[in-house]
Structure 1
Amino acid sequence: MLEVNQLTKTFGNRIAVDHLNFKIASGEVLCLLGANGAGKTTTLNMLLGFTAPSSGSATLDGDDLYKQASLCRQKIMYVPENVNLYPRFDAIENIHYLAVLAKMKLTDQQIHEALSSAGLKQADFTKHLAEYSKGMRQKVAIAFALLKHARLILMDEPTSGLDPVATQDFIQVVNTIKERGAAVLIVTHDLLCAHQLADRIGIMKQGHLTDLITTQSLTLDQLTQRYFDQFAA
C-alpha cells in the first residue's frame, strides 16, 4: 500500500528526517512515536505534500507520491489534531460541502451510513458542529474518509485531549477503517493508544527510525520500557 524508501528532509544544515524506510499494508495501522523534534511531523508533512523531501521516494499503490501527486491525493485522507470544519454547518452539510470540493456526488443516505459507521449517533447528524466535541468532529472527518474510499489515512495526535471513553470510541472507528482495507499512519505520543491500536509501532529519534515493533509481541509495560530505552541510549 504505502512504501517509503530512504525519505530524507534537511533544513539547511539540520537533518529533520534521515533516510526513512517503512511499509504499511492494506488493513494495517502503523503508529510513529517519538519525542518532539524526532521527525514525526516532518514525515507526515512530506507524505501529505506540504513539504518536499530532499531525497528519497514514497509510493502509494505503486504510484509515485510526488511524480503522480494529483492521483495520490485522491487516495489520501488527512485527519489533523484539531479537525477544522464549518461550525455553523451540521455534519451532513459539512460532508456535502467537502464532497463538492472533491467533485463527489453523495446522497443523504450514503452520508447517514458513513456517519453511523464512524460512530456518530443519528441524533447528532443535524447539530451544528459548534456543539461537537473534538472526538465527534473527528468522526465527521473519518466518515468523509470512508465515503472517499481513502486508501491511506494519515492522523496527527488524534487522541490528544480525548477522554478515555472518546479514546475507546476512536479505537473502534479506526478498527472499522482497517476492516475496509485502508492503510493508517498515526503520529502520536500516546503509548497506551498505540499499543491497543497499532499493528506495528515505529520509534523515531533525531530523524531516524530506531525501532520497529510488532505490537502483539510486547506488553504495554515492555513497550514503555523499550520506548524509554531508545532515548536513554
Structure 2
Amino acid sequence: MTQPATGSPGARMNIGEVLDRLRPDFPGVTIPKIRFLEDKGLIKPERTPAGYRKFTHADVERLRYILTMQRDHYLPLKVIGEHLDAIDRGLEPPPIDSVVPTVPQVALAADGLPSAGSFARQDNIRLSRKELVKIAEIDEGLLDQLEQFGLIVPRVGTGHYDTDALVIARTARELSEFGFEPRHLRAFKTAADREVGLVEQVVAPQKRGRDTAAKARAEETVSEIAALSVRLHATLVKAGLRSV
C-alpha cells in the first residue's frame, strides 16, 4: 500500500519530522519536551511494533495547541489537559479570558519580568572576550572585576562568553552610572546562588528519575520555579522601595 504524503492528514511522522514542523513557531521545543508531554498523557502517538513513535497531523496540531497555551497564556499543564479533554469529548474548551469581574490587568501584570520560557532559552551564541567588551560597551577593567567577583564566568573549555554574560555585563555598566561597582554586586550573586540552591533541592528527586521524561520534567520545573522566584524577588524589592 502506498504511504500517504507527509503533508496529508493521514501521514505518519517520526519525532524528528514533528520537530521540523513545530520549531519555526516554537524554537525551544525539544524531543525530551515532547516525550514529557506524552508522559503526562497530553498526547498519545501511535507506536510501531518496534516501539517507535508515529505522529499524525492531529497529534502535531494537538502539540501546537499545548505549546501555544503555555507560551501565550501561561496555562499550567493540568488546565491544558482539561481543555484537551473537553475537545476530545466534542466540547469547546473554556474561554481563556475571565468572564467575571477582576482587578485591572495592569495591577497583575508581570512588568516585563521573565516568563518560564525565558529560563528555558537555549542559544549557541559564543562571544570572544574582545566581542563581549565591544558589544556590551564596557572596558577590560570592568570585565576583569566582574570575573573576579564571580559575576561573569566564561564557558568551560572554550573561554567564550554566552548571552547571559552579555546581559550581566551590560547591566553592570548601566548600574555603574549610579555608582555601583562590581564589589557592590556580590550581594546579588549571593542572593542568586541561594535561590539556585533552593530550586536544586526541589528538582533533585525528579532528576533521579529513570524514565525518559525525567530530564524534561526537571527542566520544566526549574523554568517555572525560576520565573516565580524572580517575580517574587522583584515585587518584594519594589514593595520595599515604596518607603524609600
The answer to whether TM tops 0.5 is no
More strand by share: 1
TM-score bracket for the superposition, by shorter chain length: under 0.3
Q: TM-score, normalised by structure 1?
A: 0.27
| Structure ranking higher on relative contact order (CA contacts 8 Å, 6+ apart) | 1
More helix by share: 2
